[in-house]
Amino acid sequence: MDVEKIWFEYRARIKAFLHSRVSNVADVEDLLQEISIKTFVGISALDDPSKVQSWLFQTAHRTIIDFYRKNGSAKDMHADDLWYSEDEPETRHELERCVEPFIAALPSETAQLLTAIDIEGQSQKDYAAAHGLPYSTLKTRVKNGRRALRSVFDNCCRFTLDSRGNLSEYHSKSDSCENC
């Protein structure tokens, strides 16, 4: 496996994952660096190349837990108690292939916005500055864009959530979703 190619392919998504769970931008950068080191050192032990994505995101998840424990933010806390508890990995992996086509089905301005922020990991403040938008306006557009994306998913599938609000399973509403 070409570690550099794998890291290049997943870096932005891992960064977006970190941003969704860690509020401090400097901490996100530190964690991303730590995960890159773990990737370059540990990925050779992975036997099945089809599990690279799962391995990377599990590594990121454990790194976040370690970060909170080390910094005292999670004293006496178990990984299962964290507010961002993981969805079922297989279910999430199956739905990930739909994200980009569904984003592409949105109006182009919304698609560009969500791609930059949620797929490529660009911060909302940086995106707002680069496009000359007030930050509060951008936050509203991101919220509305995500709501529109959720609507596209809801039109395609019926979702079941567990008691914590995490995705546990889904069923397609028809034999073929338009864009997935």
For the chain, the domain total comes to: 2
- Report yes or no on 67 lying in a domain: yes
Q: What is the pLDDT of residue 85?
A: 45
Residue 81 clears pLDDT 50, i.e. is over it: no
Residue 126 and residue 97 share a domain: yes
Percentage of residues of the chain with pLDDT beyond 70? 78
Residues 74 and 93 in one domain: no
Residue 31 burial by Cβ neighbours in a 10 Å radius (0-12, 13-18, 19+): buried
Q: What average pLDDT does this structure show over 8-16?
A: 89
> Which residues, listed in sequence order, are joined to residue 75 by a DSSP beta bridge?
none
Q: Are 138 and 128 in contact (CB under 8 A)?
A: yes
pLDDT digits over 27-42, tens only?
999 999 999 999 888 8
The residue segments making up the domain with residue 53 are 3-81
pLDDT band at 163 (very low <50, low <70, confident <90, very high): low
pLDDT at 74: 44
- For residue 128, give the CATH number of its domain: 1.10.10.10
